[in-house]
Amino acid sequence: MSNDAYALAEDAAERLRARTAIESFDVALVMGSGWVPAADALGTPVAEFPVTDLPGFAPPAVDGHAGRLRAVRVGGRNALVFLGRTHLYEGLGVDAVVHGVRTALAAEVRTVILTNAAGGLRPETQKVGDPVLISDQLNLTGANPLTGARFLDLTEVYSRRLRALAREVDPSLAEGVYAAQRGPTYETPAEIRMMRTLGADVVGMSTVLEAIAAREGGAEVLGISLVTNIASGLAEGTLDHEEVLAAGRAAASRMGHLLATLLPKI
């Protein structure tokens, strides 16, 4: 990322402090497609406003992404909640995709929770509405938020400690590998077969670049995918975005309880 992008994140963090009257935040949550109802379970916001009120943020371009930012006090923690994200397929570049995470890091966040809607690659064990803790990732986007000779160890992108805490809240949670591709097209059946062979369990169009940026900044990362559809070629029918949003609404209560219970433990 360029020095200008770092400076823009610092500017956004300063504006964030002014808008919320909160000097620093403990945890940031990025809510994926259909996850906005789950965010409501975290409690009444201390502050809420459009992300575009801060420097460097683009307006929302996808249904199910509200394009708003909330500050919420949860279990003694100051939580920064991004209701939506920028995706690589929007064409705004990698810096725009990771700008929210970089802003959170500049606001002293050291725990980042990344959520997403995902296609399930293991219909033999998964059903629509199942949450999956991300244990590792396959970055198939062809992009990276780091440039130049900046070598980052990614042995543990997603924190074992945080996954264990999540399973204390919900012992039924499964784990899996998240594969990300650029989008906006859904995957072909052949691509899904390839990803299954590579070891992926869920697939989507986000998260991996944000996770890399968070780890580069020294934050612990927890990733949670919500299976909102069975991937192409593994079930009857075609895929559409409304199916994704409907699955998110149906799972909102369970996901909201998980997040609200988990945050005080972090």
- Per-residue pLDDT of 148-202, as tens digits, reads 888 999 999 999 999 999 999 999 999 999 999 999 999 999 999 999 999 999 9
pLDDT, tens digit, 9 for 90 and up, residues 10-63: 999 999 999 999 999 999 999 987 788 888 889 999 999 999 999 999 987 766
Give catalytic residue positions.
33, 65, 87, 89-90, 117, 205-206, 229, 241
Q: What is the mean pLDDT of the chain?
A: 92
CA distances to 34, 55, 60, 123, 217 from 50, in Å: 18, 11, 10, 38, 25
| CA 211 vs CA 21, 98, 105: distances in Å | 27, 9, 12
The count of C-alpha atoms lying within 13 angstroms of the C-alpha of 1, restricted to the half-sphere facing its C-beta, is 24
Distance between CA atoms of 29 and 264, rounded to whole angstroms? 14
Tokens 């945080």 sit on residue: 162
Beta bridge partners of 82: 30, 69
Which range has the worst mean pLDDT, 93-107, 206-220, 244-258?
244-258
